[in-house]
Amino acid sequence: MNPQIVPIHRKESLREDGMLFVRTEGILDTMVKLPLLVASMIIVAAVIPIQSSFSSPRVLDLIIYPDGTTHVSSVIDVDPLVTDYELDLFGNTIDNFVVVGEDGFLLNTDVIGNSALIETFGSSVITIEYDIHDLVSKQGRIWTFSLDAPSDFTLLLPKNSVIVGMTNLPINMEIINDQNQLTLSVGDTEIDYLFSTTPIISDPIVSDTLTPQTDYLTYALVGGVVAASIAGIAIVIRSKQKTAKPEQVQQSTQKIETVTAETIFKLKPDLREDDKEIVKFIANNGGQALESELRKKFLQPRTTMWRAVKRLERNGVIVIEKKDLQNLVKLRKDIEEEEEE
């Protein structure tokens, strides 16, 4: 049997002039549904970029420690209407994972493998800190850093490290506290470096083409500049000391002596030894210090120092204030009054 094709929604009529007229009843539905379908596709295409933009890192900073551990610090824009946010990490061996919301409170997290599930609690911006052991490998004397970055980032290398190879040129290079800091672009990056027996003074990338005479001349020039700078600073300091008013000196001395480390130790005898060292440094620094200064002084990761600072705050020893988007740690001047009450 040959199947018969039966037309649907079709009418035929014969006009007076003998021509056959065919009418399709579904054409009206097609004309109505087609613009709706096109509009929905446009809306979906517009929404997808917005959702992906919520997860783009606003800031991405990395610090490599001498043992090859890398500290990752990232600020990410997230959708405040979504309760849970899933983050892809840069590896599997994660330590000291901390997430802080825009209100300063720690957020609940669950790290599984190379991803983390974060409860945002309505935050539109979250700050993520963690240490990772997967980004740096060592073969012989050469250390190799590898990362497929989702955005531009900064990388702070260890002290006395010399770059011997790079896969792409950095956007910017500078020296911060005798450490090389590079600003690198999005994508795959691989950097080979080794540790030098002499500290790096100016150029983070050392060339092998320098002759001994060029080295000696360079050191002599650098030494002369350093000596001149030290002499100039000494002259400025002496002139300021001579012109300083006695009242100002007395006021600054009173501020430093308002709360001493010994007084705090008597009032808080149960402080940990590492916390006492932090208190001593803050007291000798005029009663206040930036959290970044504490990390540099005690060579601690950001998360470890943050826990120590929060522990001192809970014990009533310090207060934390914001100064230029940084945490300013100050010894409490009313600690004696509080203990007497």
Mean pLDDT of 54-58: 66
Q: Do 334 and 319 meet the contact criterion of CB atoms below 8 Å apart?
A: no
CATH of domain 57-195: 2.60.40.1730
**Residue 244 pLDDT > 80:** no
8 A C-beta contact, residue 329 and residue 291: yes
> CA–CA separation, 120 vs 127, rounded Å?
11
Q: What is the pLDDT of residues 61-108, one digit of tens each?
A: 999 999 999 999 999 998 888 889 999 999 889 989 999 998 888 999
pLDDT band, very low/low/confident/very high, at 45 (cuts 50, 70, 90):
very low
Which fold is adopted by the domain 247-340?
A: Arc Repressor Mutant, subunit A (1.10.10)
Structure tokens at 65: 């420690």
DSSP 14-67: E-TTS-EEEEETTHHHHHHHHHHHHHHHHHHHHHHHHHHHHTSEEEEEEEE-TT
Per-domain residue ranges of the chain: 10-48, 57-195, 209-243, 247-340
**Highest-pLDDT range among 41-50, 51-60, 207-216, 258-267:** 258-267
pTM for the full model? 0.47
How remote is the C-alpha of 268 from its chain's centroid?
Answer: 34
Alpha carbons 101 and 111: distance in angstroms, whole number:
17
The answer, yes or no, to whether residue 137 has pLDDT greater than 80, is yes
Q: Do the first three CATH levels of 57-195 and 247-340 match, i.e. the same topology?
A: no
Q: How far is residue 70's CA from residue 49's CA, in Å, rounded to a whole number?
A: 31
pLDDT at residue 177, as a whole number: 85
Quote the pLDDT of residue 213. 44
- pLDDT-derived band at 109, boundaries 50, 70, 90: very high
Render pLDDT for 193-234 as a digit per residue (tens, 0 to 9).
998 765 544 444 444 444 444 445 545 555 565 566 666 666
Nearest to 110 by CA among 132, 134, 84: 84
Specify the pLDDT at position 105: 86
Mean pLDDT, all residues of the chain = 76
**Averaged pLDDT for residues 244-257:** 44
C-alpha 193/C-alpha 200 separation (Å) is: 13
